[in-house]
Amino acid sequence: MKKLSIALAACAVTALTLTPQAAKAGTLEDVKARGVLNCIVNTGLPGFSYTDASGRWKGFDADMCRSVAAAVLGDGEKVKYIPATGKTRFTLLNSKEGDVIFRNTTWTFVRDVSVKLNFIHTTYYDGQGFMIRKSKGVKSTKELDGATVCIQTGTTTELNLADYFRANKISYKPVPIESNEEARKNYIADRCDTYTTDASGLAATRASFTKPEDHLILPEIISKEPLGPVVRHGDDQWADIIRWTVFALIAAEEHGVTAANADAMAAKKAPATARLLGGEGDLGKMLGLDKDWAKRAIKAQGNYAEIFERNVGTKTNIGLARGLNAHYTNGGLQYSPPFR
Amino acid sequence: MSDNVSQGSDQQVSTQPNYLLSLWRNKETRSVILQIITIAVFFAFLAYIINNAILNLAALGKTFSFDFLDLPASYDINQRLIEYTSQSTHLRAFFVGLLNTLLVAFFGVITATILGFLLGIIRLSNNWVASRLVYVFIELTRNIPVLLHILLIHGIIVHILPSPKQAHTLADSIFLSNRGLTIPDPVAGDGFIFTVIAFFIAIAGAVYFRSWAKKKREEEGKIYHVFYISVGILFGLPLLVFLLSGLPLTWHVPEMGRFNLKGGITMIPELLALWLALSLYTSAFIAEIVRAGIMAINKGQWEASEAVGLTRDRTLNLVIIPQALRIIIPPLTSQYLNLTKNSSLAIAIGYMDIVATIGGITLMQTGKEMETMIIVLFTYLCISLLISSAMNWYNKRLKLVER
């Protein structure tokens, strides 16, 4: 199971050495020919990407995969989910096992520039926090001196943790763990005093406990974690498709287009929504898709607000407020460039 | 490669096919030609995969370089045998990981060998219950994948042992909890150096006594209990000096901090689990190898020893085991190699070995899959070759010297 990551790395090397230099077909052609979108997601993070009792992938990230599949292939269900740990995700993308990563992945300089990835847009503005049992009596991260800390290995949180504790001269013992699920188990078993990851992930993990009220998320947020979809370097057309599909979901929220009313709004021919929904002009063709692409994406899983509220919003047991992720008209950071 | 062959026959164009055919029909030249072709194919394949790697890396826009090893690693490692902080380089992180791999492999090999020999001998004993119990243990252990052993033992330690505040304790100085096994930290006082010196003198004394006893035995036929007397010297002399110099050693006993025990030496659960799992798993195989080795010795050897009046223990020590070792050592070497390589499963429970450090976090943070994997592969290769050559040397020493 965990040996998978080693195997994958080895496979990546093998793939690099043995894959013949094929004529460069674009990712779009590959996806269309295959008829399925290979979407790299988290192995299991409630609210973002997880499988429910019937085995269906659910969550904020999993739904966005469906939006893209609807835009590109015309059917939001034509998604093959490829679960990846923090360590395996980029290898899976670069070895072309997956077409896109929708897996709460932090946009950083090194990943963008040196790991040769293209970050599309921040779909979720997050920051790293700490969760601890209330019984430990800790009220602030500054009190964590000597604590054992569970982290997901291969993530930015691992680096932030080292920086933050060094800067504050706090000693700690790291316990590196492969996946959120394993980290959760170790935290529950009290192998570590505190678990650190993105605050959204902590809220989602806490919501899955039998007694969430016994656990506290400490007030300090120690980093910026802009999370969003990622594609390989070197295929601008594919990057544009993902980027503008995400923007379409955000613009849909701005213009009040929802999954339910998308068809009606398209018929209304108001200028901004008509261009977005394909009633006017042919933006889709410029992307290499057809003119209804955005309408299909919105109809598949709803606009950004619908996806957010359904999966992680205040009405769910995860209960995250929009905060920075509110639309800019409501004081948040989610903002789509104009469709024209 | 066939160019070389045809060059020589340029003048006799008309006879060339026959000439080539005759080269092929000649047994010696044919074997040379086949070898040349094999080597050419091998290098062509090598060139092909290297070329492909270069092209594919270029297509991804990646460069091939080991410069990243000098950059700060920026991550912390929970078990460090050498000094390391998150400011140290990736190269140093690699060495920390390497030492962690070697640590668990070293202790694993020792415990697996001791346990394996004991089990193997008990398996052969006339005591039906003991023999059957060991048989059940061996079959159970070696037929379950080692990864499950690791996960099971780690699970037991983490889930069943209490948290540090309720730790099981022995004399309030040794603590066992789900954060690991913590023992007091020895602090050497003034004059402890004499005990160390005494220990080295004791080693020299034991070695001298051994050769003296051997000489006596050969000359006068007098037999001393070399083993017991050696052990007596090795422990007795340093202990005597230690007592005489006034017990110059104090123990720094761990104390409970807010979250964890402070001070002392801690063996983290991941190391404990990995070490125990690898030892148990490999010991089952070693037990079978030992049993096979002993059983392969001709019954006549036992009877001959009995005939000259040797006891069972002396027969085993002087006659059977030295011969059995020749059979045991080669497969034992494979078990040592397996144990070392299986230690790479450490990643499953978060033990920071070489795969988890350079082949894991460094790979992730730098995106250098090719370079880091090459480093990991070559490191395992080197460790394996070293173990192999050491065991081959030992095997050669044990070989029957024909006179």
The answer to whether the CB atoms of B350 and A234 lie below 8 A apart is: no
Question: Is B75 inside a domain boundary?
Answer: no
For position A21, what pLDDT does the model report? Answer: 46
For position B217, what pLDDT does the model report? Answer: 82
Question: Is B74 inside a domain boundary?
Answer: no
Question: Is B21 inside a domain boundary?
Answer: yes
Question: Is B117 inside a domain boundary?
Answer: yes
Question: Is B152 inside a domain boundary?
Answer: yes
- Read off the pLDDT of residues B293-328 as tens digits, 9 standing for 90 and up: 999 988 899 899 989 998 888 888 888 888 898 899
| Residue B2 predicted with pLDDT over 50 | no
For position B189, what pLDDT does the model report? Answer: 77
| Residue B163 predicted with pLDDT over 90 | no
Which chain B positions have a beta carbon within 8 Å of A91's beta carbon? Answer: 369
Same domain, B138 and B157: yes
The 10 Å CB-count burial string (b at 16+, else e) for A152-191 is bbbbbbbbbbbebbbeeeeebbbbbbbbbbbbbbbbbbbb
Residue type at position A58: K
The two three-digit tokens of residue A37, written as one number:
């979108």
Same domain, B191 and B144: no
The two three-digit tokens of residue B340, written as one number:
């070392």
How many Å is the Cα radius of gyration of chain B? Answer: 29
Same domain, B246 and B213: yes
Instruction: Enumerate residue ranges in chain A where pLDDT < 70.
Output: 1-25
The two three-digit tokens of residue B272, written as one number:
């404990």
- Read off the pLDDT of residues B342-389 as tens digits, 9 standing for 90 and up: 999 998 898 999 999 999 899 988 888 889 999 999 999 999 999 999
For position B15, what pLDDT does the model report? Answer: 57
The answer to whether the CB atoms of B360 and A5 lie below 8 A apart is: yes
Question: Is B261 inside a domain boundary?
Answer: no
Length of chain A: 340
Same domain, B364 and B281: yes
Q: Which helix (H) or strand (E) holds B206?
A: helix B192-220
Count of domains for chain B: 3
> Could you tell me the residue ranges of all domains in chain A?
3-125+227-330, 128-223
The two three-digit tokens of residue A39, written as one number:
């979407």
The two three-digit tokens of residue A315, written as one number:
């009405």
Instruction: Report how far residue A114's alpha carbon sits from residue A159's, in angstroms, rounded to the nearest whole number.
Output: 17
For position A304, what pLDDT does the model report? Answer: 96
- On whether the CB atoms of residues A283 and A290 are closer than 8 A, the answer is no
- On whether the CB atoms of residues A259 and A297 are closer than 8 A, the answer is no
Residue B9: band (very low, low, confident or very high) from pLDDT cuts 50, 70, 90: very low
Please identify which residue in the block is written with the tokens 């019954």: B299
Of all residues in chain B, the one with the smallest CA distance to A135 is: B259
Q: To the nearest whole number, what is the mean pLDDT of chain B?
A: 87
Q: Average of pLDDT values for B113-129?
A: 92
Say if residue B122 is exposed, middle or buried (CB neighbours under 10 Å; 0-12, 13-18, 19+).
middle
Number of neighbouring beta carbons within 10 Å of residue A135: 9
Say if residue A192 is exposed, middle or buried (CB neighbours under 10 Å; 0-12, 13-18, 19+).
buried
Same domain, B307 and B162: yes
Which range, of A97-106, B39-48, B249-258, averages the lowest pLDDT?
B249-258
Q: Which CATH architecture has domain A128-223?
A: 3-Layer(aba) Sandwich (3.40)
For position B312, what pLDDT does the model report? Answer: 82
The answer to whether the CB atoms of B76 and A162 lie below 8 A apart is: yes
Please identify which residue in the block is written with the tokens 């480093």: B375
The answer to whether the CB atoms of A191 and B179 lie below 8 A apart is: yes
Q: Average of pLDDT values for B227-247?
A: 84
CATH number at residue B283: 1.10.3720.10
- DSSP summary character for residue A233: T
The answer to whether the CB atoms of A233 and B373 lie below 8 A apart is: no
Question: Is B76 inside a domain boundary?
Answer: no
Please identify which residue in the block is written with the tokens 């793939």: A15
Which range, of A18-27, A230-239, B108-117, B281-290, averages the lowest pLDDT?
A18-27
Residue B3: band (very low, low, confident or very high) from pLDDT cuts 50, 70, 90: very low
The answer to whether the CB atoms of A147 and B365 lie below 8 A apart is: no
Which chain B positions have a beta carbon within 8 Å of A154's beta carbon? Answer: 360-361, 364-365
Contacts of B51 (CB under 8 A, 6+ apart): none
Same domain, B238 and B316: no
**Of A175, A161, A179, A177, nearest to A223 (Cα)?**
A161
Contacts of B69 (CB under 8 A, 6+ apart): B89, B90, B91, B94
Same domain, B235 and B135: no
Q: A312-320 — which CB contacts under 8 Å span 24+ positions?
A: A312/A47, A312/A48, A312/A59, A312/A60, A312/A200, A312/A203, A312/A204, A316/A47, A316/A207, A317/A207, A318/A46, A318/A47, A318/A200, A318/A203, A318/A204, A318/A207, A319/A203, A319/A207, A320/A47, A320/A200, A320/A203
ipTM comes to 0.78
Give, to the nearest 10 degrees, the angle between helix A27-34 and helix A60-73: 90
The answer to whether the CB atoms of A1 and B348 lie below 8 A apart is: yes
Distances in Å between the alpha carbon of B201 and those of B44, B210, B234, B240?
Answer: 60, 14, 9, 13
Please identify which residue in the block is written with the tokens 């019937």: A54
Contacts of A70 (CB under 8 A, 6+ apart): A76, A296, A297, A299, A300, A301
Choose among B257, B365, B373: nearest Cβ to A9.
B373
Instruction: Report how far residue A338's alpha carbon sits from residue B8's, in angstroms, rounded to the nearest whole number.
Output: 76
Same fold, A3-125+227-330 and A128-223: yes
Give, to the nearest 10 degrees, the angle between helix A236-255 and helix A60-73: 110
Grouping H, G, I as helix, E, B as strand and the rest as coil, residue A178 is coil
Which chain A positions have a beta carbon within 8 Å of B101's beta carbon? Answer: none
The two three-digit tokens of residue A239, written as one number:
């990057």
Instruction: Report how far residue A129's alpha carbon sits from residue A135's, in angstroms, rounded to the nearest whole number.
Output: 18
* Alpha carbon of B190: minimum distance to chain A alpha carbons (Å): 31
Interface of A with B in 121-150 (CB under 8 A): 136, 143-148
For position B167, what pLDDT does the model report? Answer: 85
Same domain, B144 and B292: yes
Instruction: Report how far residue A186's alpha carbon sits from residue B154's, in angstroms, rounded to the nearest whole number.
Output: 10
For position A15, what pLDDT does the model report? Answer: 56
Domain boundary among B252, B279, B302: B252
Question: Is B84 inside a domain boundary?
Answer: no
Domain membership of residue B176 as a residue range: 90-181+267-398
What pTM does this model have? 0.81
Name the fold adopted by A3-125+227-330.
D-Maltodextrin-Binding Protein; domain 2 (3.40.190)
